[in-house]
């Protein structure tokens, strides 16, 4: 599927934005949410239906939204983690029940500190001692809160409760127990998503820097998880700004069979001017090649995302 007209683009953008907003509402007020656990399941199904329509368009919109503003960080981070866990679970051919527990844990892992997570994203100073303590205890508090909100999936609760625990990260991923394996996936995705997202105290890293950091932190026997995540998103995921070796500005549009050779929409000339009409370029076909990924915070271009996504039909 590709975006056929501007109305379809607006509908797609609205659905992803509404999903993020709805997730933010229930995470911000879990005690006020009737049938909380069922609502999380509904948002999971909604996310899956959007990804089935066009995973690359979904990643494009998510990375553009997540990479450009710290506003609503908690909901944006939860949705990005949920999407990446879903795609990684499919890449690893996990059983549906494991995928369900993993994705729902990704949505809700920080539910006990949602408000503070948004505050932290918008403060320039280091966390205070009180905030540091809240960060330390939030995995256990989140799991306990989810239990009181009707979550009966023990794997879901265990993943949330252990998602900052450093024990059990080494060794062969296939030898790990189900929940240990799922927790390791979530920890990896959590770190990667946090790196690319800006906060007031720092700009987000470029996608390439984040990928290298993730792979550097993977032990020799467990880097299959890192490789699986990189196969899912590529070194430069859809929505990532890139500088071409021609000095032109591009934005990644679609993944290809090779993680380092995506389809790119060229949006800016070498002299810094935005193009009136972006042009599609398959980096696997030859020059120009990607010289570097750019953090979204360093790019001030106002893009016409409809024009860019409309090119996807030719990819």
User: Is the separation of the CB atoms in 233 and 84 below 8 Å?
Assistant: yes
Q: Any idea what the Cα angle at residue 118 is, between residues 155 and 192, rounded to 5°?
A: 55
What distance in Å separates the CA atoms of residue 68 and residue 212, rounded to the nearest whole number? Answer: 21
What distance in Å separates the CA atoms of residue 23 and residue 229, rounded to the nearest whole number? Answer: 23
Question: Which residue ranges form the domains of the chain, and what is each CATH number?
Answer: 6-233 (1.10.3210.10), 241-314 (no CATH)
Closest to 121 in 3D by CA, of 152, 88, 78: 78
What integer pLDDT is reported at residue 201 of this predicted model?
46
Closest to 263 in 3D by CA, of 2, 80, 50: 2
> Is residue 288 reached through a cis peptide bond, with omega within 30 degrees of 0 on the bond before it?
yes
Q: Is the dihedral of CA 179, 182, 187, 193 positive or negative?
A: negative
Per-residue pLDDT of the chain (315 residues; tens, 9 = 90+): 567 788 888 998 889 989 999 999 999 999 999 999 999 999 999 999 999 999 999 999 888 765 555 457 889 999 999 999 999 999 999 999 999 999 999 999 999 999 888 888 788 888 899 989 988 999 999 999 999 999 999 999 999 999 988 765 665 566 567 799 999 999 999 988 888 765 544 555 666 676 666 666 654 445 678 888 888 888 888 988 999 999 999 999 999 888 789 999 999 999 989 999 999 999 999 999 999 888 777 787 788 889 999 898 777
What distance in Å separates the CA atoms of residue 114 and residue 112, rounded to the nearest whole number? Answer: 6
Q: Count of residues for the chain?
A: 315
């Amino acid at each position: 599927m590709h975006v056929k007209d501007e109305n379809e683009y607006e509908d797609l953008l609205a659905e992803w934005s509404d999903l993020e907003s709805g997730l933010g509402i229930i995470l911000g007020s879990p005690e006020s949410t009737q049938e909380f656990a069922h609502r999380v399941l509904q948002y999971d199904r909604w996310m899956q239906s959007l990804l089935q329509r066009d995973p690359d368009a979904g990643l494009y919109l998510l990375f553009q939204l997540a990479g450009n503003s710290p506003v609503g960080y908690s909901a944006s981070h939860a949705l990005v983690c949920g999407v990446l866990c879903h795609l990684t679970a499919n890449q690893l051919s996990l059983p549906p029940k494991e995928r369900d527990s993993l994705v729902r844990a990704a949505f809700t892992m920080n539910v006990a500190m949602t408000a503070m997570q948004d505050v932290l994203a918008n403060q320039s100073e280091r966390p205070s001692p009180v905030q540091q303590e809240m960060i330390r205890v939030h995995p256990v508090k989140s799991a306990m809160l989810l239990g009181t909100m009707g979550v009966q999936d023990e794997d879901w609760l265990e993943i949330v409760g252990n998602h900052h625990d450093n024990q059990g990260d080494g060794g062969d991923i296939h030898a790990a127990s189900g929940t240990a394996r799922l927790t390791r996936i979530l920890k990896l995705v959590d770190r990667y998503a946090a790196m690319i997202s800006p906060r007031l105290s720092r700009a987000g890293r470029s996608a390439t820097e984040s990928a290298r950091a993730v792979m550097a932190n993977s032990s020799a026997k467990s880097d299959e998880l890192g490789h699986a995540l990189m196969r899912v998103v590529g070194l430069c995921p859809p929505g990532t700004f890139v500088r071409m070796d021609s000095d032109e500005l591009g934005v990644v549009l679609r993944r290809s069979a090779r993680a380092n050779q995506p389809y790119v929409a060229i949006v800016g000339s070498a002299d810094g001017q935005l193009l009136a009409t972006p042009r599609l370029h398959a980096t696997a076909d030859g020059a120009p090649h990607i010289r570097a990924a750019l953090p979204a915070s360093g790019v001030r271009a106002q893009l016409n995302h409809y024009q860019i996504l409309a090119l996807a039909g030719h990819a």
